[in-house]
Amino acid sequence: MNLFSLLQAQSASGRPVRTGLIGAGKFGSMFLSQVPFTPGLEVTVVADLSPERARAACRAVGWQEERIAATAFIEDGRALAASDGVDVVIDATGSPAAGIAHALAAIDNGKHVVMVNVEADVLAGPALAKRARSAGVVYSMAYGDQPALVAEMVDWARATGFRVQAAGKGTKYLPSYHRITPDEVWSHYGLTPEAARAAGMNSQMFNSFLDGTKSAIEMAAIANACDLAVPSDGLAFPPCGVDDLCHVLRPRNVGGAMEAGGMVEVVSSLERDGRPVFRDLRWGVYVVLEAPNDYAAGCFRQYGLPVDSTGRFAAMYKPFHLIGLELGISVLSAALRGEPTGQARVFRGDAVAVAKRDLVPGDMLDGEGGYTVWGKLVPSSVSLAARALPIGLAHGVKVVRPVRAGELVGRQDVEEPADGQATRLRREAEALVG
């Protein structure tokens, strides 16, 4: 709880924390909006495929022209990672291959890495974190995004002596959403296609939140950072409000919905008939605790913590997350404390491609949120045994064998991806199976 004091001391010393941002989209822009109000934190370089668009983003979030003029705007993220004027590299691109390339360049140049790009983290995060530790730098999840917030809650629970029964987030979900394509997405957000286009919103990206892919990716990231188990047949998305977390997410043998303890899960803000859940957790995160003994269980009740019918399970939750507005916590933790705000350490969970429709030879997969596949969370052991195709490698690859709708897409069902950095790092991550 002394991060701001450390930052004040850094500012007073005349040595600000120098940050390079790759990708000036929504997440990156939210971070940029906070920089002028965080003395001791500077963004020295911004890399984006369109530097002029990045400058426009800075103006849109309120940067003064003097600050813009003092910042370098370039196209090449790897060049940013090699810059002498950068201490911490943020990847906010959303491309798994780009995120891995940028992280490797940063680590090779002795820079800390904050990985907003959860897609890259799930594809190869344990390997990137191992390389960073060997190089003496920090590889970190992005605070403000749900995986890092869950990792913080899990760490708090374990450090205070509680057993973690379940951890995860909320989302809007119905089983039919797995088949939704970008052509159908806007009605579910209460928007017309014209309004979405006018706002510059990407239908495939927004669809990845709706069709279950983002939930799979984020829960895999949490499982790998917190060494938590993954449901054997993927996420169940039980409808659940905040008042019922400790009832629904306890083990089945005491009346709950979870097949085991120490597991990730996502709760839905919709009942299966489409009615809204009372006091839903759509934007938030949670952890369900189990008291280690009768004395602790008694303390739960004495101090007003809502518990289940056994008195042993209780839930803590945060009803919101502020995404990029909170990202500075990761940057400062890496630079001033040498600590990540969550970090992939083992390969426990994977997000793999499932066919949205019958696929035939010659079809091209279009990745998360697209027309052909959605991402499903599976245990890493299941992924490896089935030779399942990671959703992070399901971009622009050709189908060579028929795959029925609802089936996992195997590596044998598509042309072999090129043996680039992403596939090599993926193999390193697979060797760290938990």
Tell whether 37 and 116 lie within a shared domain. Answer: yes
Q: What are phi and psi of 122, to 5 degrees?
A: -70, -30
Does a structural domain hold residue 179? no
Contacts of 54 (CB under 8 A, 6+ apart): 24, 46, 47, 48, 73
Tell whether 136 and 80 lie within a shared domain. Answer: yes
pLDDT value of residue 240: 98
In 192-348, the DSSP E strands lie at: 263-268, 285-290, 313-318
What are the CA-CA distances from residue 390 to residues 58, 119, 234, 349, 363 (Å)? 34, 10, 14, 11, 17
Of all residues in the chain, the percent with pLDDT exceeding 90 is 93
Q: Are 87 and 17 in contact (CB under 8 A)?
A: yes
Tell whether 385 and 331 lie within a shared domain. Answer: no
Domain of 107, CATH number, reads 3.40.50.720
Tell whether 304 and 374 lie within a shared domain. Answer: no
Does a structural domain hold residue 192? no
Mean pLDDT, range 64-88, rounded to an integer = 97
- Overall domain count for the chain: 3
Tell whether 303 and 416 lie within a shared domain. Answer: no
Domain boundary among 277, 304, 337: 337
DSSP output for 89-141: EEE----HHHHHHHHHHHHHTT-EEEE--HHHHHHHHHHHHHHHHHHT--EEE
Interatomic CA distance for residues 111 and 19, integer angstroms: 10
- Interhelix angle 118-135/421-430, rounded to 10 degrees, is 70
pLDDT value of residue 383: 97
Does a structural domain hold residue 191? no
- Is the pLDDT at 1 greater than 90, yes or no? no
Which among 254, 342, 319 has a CA at the least distance from the CA of 290? 254
| Mean of all residue pLDDT scores within the chain | 96
Tell whether 236 and 279 lie within a shared domain. Answer: yes
Tell whether 157 and 278 lie within a shared domain. Answer: yes
Number of H helices, E strands in the chain: 16, 14
- Is the pLDDT at 200 greater than 90, yes or no? no
Using one digit for the tens of pLDDT, what is the confidence trace for 110-167? Answer: 999 999 999 999 999 999 999 999 999 999 999 999 999 999 999 999 999 999 999 9
pLDDT value of residue 79: 98
The DSSP bridge pattern shows strands 163-171 and 285-290 to be antiparallel
Q: Which token pair is 370?
A: 């697209």
Using one digit for the tens of pLDDT, what is the confidence trace for 102-111? Answer: 999 999 999 9
Does a structural domain hold residue 206? no
Does a structural domain hold residue 380? yes
Q: Are 11 and 306 in contact (CB under 8 A)?
A: no
Tell whether 270 and 411 lie within a shared domain. Answer: no
Does a structural domain hold residue 197? no
Range of the domain at 329: 3-144+324-337
Does a structural domain hold residue 183? no
Tell whether 136 and 151 lie within a shared domain. Answer: no
Domain of 422, CATH number, reads 3.90.1210.10
Model-level pTM?
Answer: 0.96
Domain boundary among 270, 304, 337: 337
Q: What is the DSSP letter of 164?
A: E
Domain boundary among 279, 302, 337: 337
Mean pLDDT, range 34-38, rounded to an integer = 97
Does a structural domain hold residue 253? yes
Tell whether 258 and 168 lie within a shared domain. Answer: yes
Tell whether 152 and 112 lie within a shared domain. Answer: no
Tell whether 156 and 292 lie within a shared domain. Answer: yes
